[in-house]
Amino acid sequence: MPQRFYSESKAKPRGDWRYATFRTKLGWMAAVWHSQAVAGLSFVQDDAVAAARWANQFLTERDVHGDIAKEAEIPWRLAERMREFAKGEPTSFGEIPLDVTHLAPFGRKVAAECCALAWGETASYAEIAGRVGSPAAARAVGNCMRTNRLPLLIPCHRVVGAGGSLGGYSAPTGLSMKCRLLAAEGVGLPAMAGS
């Protein structure tokens, strides 16, 4: 398990929760974090208000109350990294701690394999399943990607279907966004574009 994964406890993390909204070429984004790690990320929001609404909903669903504040600056230079990514600049999020306490052990393994994919590299759902020791679990890998709370940080867009098909993508604009993200990384999409 990568050191950057905060997963020691199923209990709610202690410490202050924060959220921020910021704009990139991909649209408005919102990030939610606590004192140990980033817990959620959403992108392709219409505007700052929609991004803030997503962040508040994320916190409410996790029954987070108390000292929650909106801050202009996200720790670990997250907003800057997201903007670089949106411009198509090779970007690594490897130093950003991620809260994966919501994931079962299988999901944590899948997330780790997904994070191991480099800029511009793809793998199929079946390949990821094989890498985590469950070669028949391609559909379960797809489900992990579908429910990813940390898109781009856990780069589920790099996981594609067998034979070059795109598979799915749960961002608001779906497969068109997956195509944009892969194209930004220089991944050729001729066979995928019609998927």
Model confidence pLDDT, tens digit, residues 29-67: 888 888 778 899 998 778 888 888 888 888 888 777 555
Residue 116 CB neighbour total at 10 angstroms:
14
What are the extents of the domains in the chain? Answer: 5-86, 103-184
Helix, strand, coil fractions of the chain, as percent rounded to 5: 35, 20, 45
pLDDT at 69 over 80: no
CATH number for the segment(s) 5-86: 3.30.160
Q: Catalytic site residues?
A: 156
Start-to-end Cα distance in the chain: 33
CATH number for the segment(s) 103-184: 1.10.10.10
Model confidence pLDDT, tens digit, residues 7-22:
665 455 555 788 888 8
pTM for the full predicted model: 0.86
Model confidence pLDDT, tens digit, residues 115-144:
999 999 999 999 999 999 999 999 999 999
